[in-house]
């Protein structure tokens, strides 16, 4: 019997498996089950988590793990909690940086409610922070996953984000980055260069980890970062590291879970083995039938197709069934796709919907002549 791991590795290696691989990101859903007391606190780290994927008929690949520890030197770092808020203060010779991430109990997630970089005035201190950051390998969890996963999937670890997305997604937000680019593009470039030097050191550690697949977890969406910023600040980082990953006989991917039209062609030309968490219309901005056309090449594997909301009762059973079958109709036309969740099964996901995908793949996932 062919395993999910065998299907995926055959496809990533350029072959044709017996049917379309089906791999889902269940991490967010699992977080909510733990939060509700329906699963134990250590659920995601144990063998039971892989068994859960097996029982649901879903291939396993995503554990959200950076295989290194971050060590900040020559700065005074304070971290504490205030109710739902997680706060951090970093004191540098060039100023104080503060941030707050607030836990949202209804959604079982946290979001930045105060960014480290609030304006161009913070860039000097932010540069100092990364100039004085080092990394240490931390491979224990990836090694554990290698022992656990077996035929259910692959071991995936993260590189750091590109420097631009470190700022856009985490530390500054797009408004502060855009303001910095408009006010003093040279200072922004110097700042991104400092982040790049630090991230390159961490990326080398990720490359040498036990991971079989390495992701740059950009969280890209083309209405936030368009082609101009991509070419100026992201392409070089991605091309260099996809090349190094390929030279190390590993697979690379990037997380592109937002709108696709403005960036898909550019990202598909950066050397990734696959583009992950692609969200189709009607939730996203590009129908699955048009992904290949907009990708601009034939070699990059396209992974996604099932929006998270389709796993909830906000979408009817009939529409869910129709959508999964229509996506499989495209994906069985050639061995270029992985059926995946775009981007995660949400806290209100329905178990029967997750199981149903596996049943539909078994029935309709074989490649057409």
pLDDT of residue 63: 72
Classify residue 144 by burial, with Cβ atoms within 10 Å: 0-12, 13-18, 19+.
middle
Q: Is the pLDDT of residue 148 over 90?
A: yes
Q: Give the angle subtended at the CA of 92 by the CAs of 111 and 128, to the nearest 5°.
A: 85
pLDDT of residue 327: 98
pLDDT of residue 110: 96
Q: In angstroms, rounded to a whole number, what is the distance separating the alpha carbons of residues 47 and 60? A: 12
Q: pLDDT of 327-357, one tens digit each?
A: 999 999 999 999 999 999 999 999 999 999 9
Helix (H, G, I), strand (E, B) or coil at 263: coil
Q: pLDDT of 237-275, one tens digit each?
A: 999 999 999 999 999 999 999 999 999 999 999 999 999
pLDDT of residue 249: 98
| β pairing state of 337-342 and 22-23 | parallel
Q: What percent of the chain has pLDDT over 70?
A: 100
Q: In angstroms, rounded to a whole number, what is the distance separating the alpha carbons of residues 3 and 24? A: 15
Helix (H, G, I), strand (E, B) or coil at 251: strand
How many other CB atoms are found less than 10 A from the CB of residue 35? Answer: 15
Radius of gyration of the chain (CA): 21
Residue ranges matching CATH 3.20.20.210 in the chain:
4-69+136-364
User: What average pLDDT score do residues 110-116 get?
Assistant: 97
Backbone φ and ψ for 156, nearest 5 degrees, come out as: -120, 135
Beta carbons within 8 Å of 238's beta carbon, 6+ residues apart: 162, 216, 254, 267, 270, 271, 272
Maximal CA-CA distance, the chain: 66
Q: In angstroms, rounded to a whole number, what is the distance separating the alpha carbons of residues 213 and 137? A: 17
Q: pLDDT of 266-281, one tens digit each?
A: 999 999 999 999 999 9
Q: In angstroms, rounded to a whole number, what is the distance separating the alpha carbons of residues 249 and 272? A: 13
CA distances to 15, 142, 144, 226, 271 from 237, in Å? 28, 24, 29, 16, 11
Q: Give the angle subtended at the CA of 42 by the CAs of 40 and 43, to the nearest 5°.
A: 65
User: What average pLDDT score do residues 184-203 get?
Assistant: 98
| β pairing state of 95-104 and 85-92 | antiparallel
Across 343-357, b (16+ Cβ under 10 Å) vs e yields bbbbbebbeebbebb
Q: pLDDT of 199-227, one tens digit each?
A: 999 999 999 999 999 999 999 999 999 99
Q: In angstroms, rounded to a whole number, what is the distance separating the alpha carbons of residues 142 and 286? A: 34
pTM above 0.85, yes or no: yes
Q: What is the distance in angstroms between the CA of the first residue and the CA of the last residue of the chain?
A: 22
Q: Is the pLDDT of residue 64 over 80?
A: no
Torsion of CA 278, 282, 284, 290, to 10 degrees: 60
Q: Which CATH entry fits the domain spanning 4-69+136-364: 3.40.50.10700, 3.20.20.210, 3.40.50.10490, 3.30.360.10?
A: 3.20.20.210
Would you state the structure tokens that stand for residue 229, as one six-digit string?
A: 């910023």
Would you state the structure tokens that stand for residue 110, as one six-digit string?
A: 């946290």
pLDDT of residue 62: 76
């Amino acid at each position: 019997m062919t395993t999910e791991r065998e299907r995926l590795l055959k496809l990533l290696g350029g072959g044709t498996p017996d049917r379309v691989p089906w791999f889902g990101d269940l991490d967010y859903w699992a977080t909510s089950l733990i939060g509700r007391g329906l699963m134990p606190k250590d659920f995601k780290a144990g063998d039971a988590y892989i068994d859960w994927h097996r029982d649901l008929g879903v291939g396993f690949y995503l554990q959200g793990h950076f295989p290194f520890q971050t060590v900040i030197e020559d700065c005074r770092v304070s971290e504490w909690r205030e109710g739902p808020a997680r706060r951090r203060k970093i004191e540098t010779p060039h100023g104080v940086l503060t941030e707050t991430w607030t836990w949202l109990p209804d959604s079982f997630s946290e979001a930045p409610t105060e960014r480290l970089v609030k304006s161009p005035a913070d860039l000097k201190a932010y540069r100092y922070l990364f100039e004085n950051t080092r990394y240490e390998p931390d491979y224990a969890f990836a090694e554990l996953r290698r022992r656990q996963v077996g035929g259910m999937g692959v071991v995936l670890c993260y590189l750091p984000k590109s420097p631009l997305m470190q700022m856009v997604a985490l530390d500054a937000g797009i408004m502060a980055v855009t303001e910095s680019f408009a006010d003093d593009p040279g200072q922004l470039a110097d700042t991104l260069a400092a982040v790049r030097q630090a991230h390159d050191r961490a990326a080398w550690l990720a490359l040498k980890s036990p991971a079989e697949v390495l992701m740059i977890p950009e969280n890209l969406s083309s209405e936030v970062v368009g082609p101009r910023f991509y070419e100026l600040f992201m392409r070089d980082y991605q091309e260099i590291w996809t090349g190094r990953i390929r030279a190390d006989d590993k697979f690379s991917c990037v997380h592109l879970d937002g709108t696709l039209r403005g960036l898909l062609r550019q990202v598909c030309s950066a050397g990734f083995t696959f583009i992950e968490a692609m969200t189709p219309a009607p939730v996203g901005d590009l129908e699955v039938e048009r992904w290949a056309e907009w990708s601009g090449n034939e070699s990059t594997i396209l992974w996604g197709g099932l929006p998270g909301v389709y796993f909830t009762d906000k979408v009817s059973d009939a529409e869910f069934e129709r959508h999964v079958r229509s996506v499989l109709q495209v994906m069985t036309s050639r061995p270029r796709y992985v059926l995946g969740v775009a981007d995660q099964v949400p806290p209100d996901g329905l178990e029967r919907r997750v199981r149903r995908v596996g049943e539909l793949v078994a029935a309709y996932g074989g490649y057409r002549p």
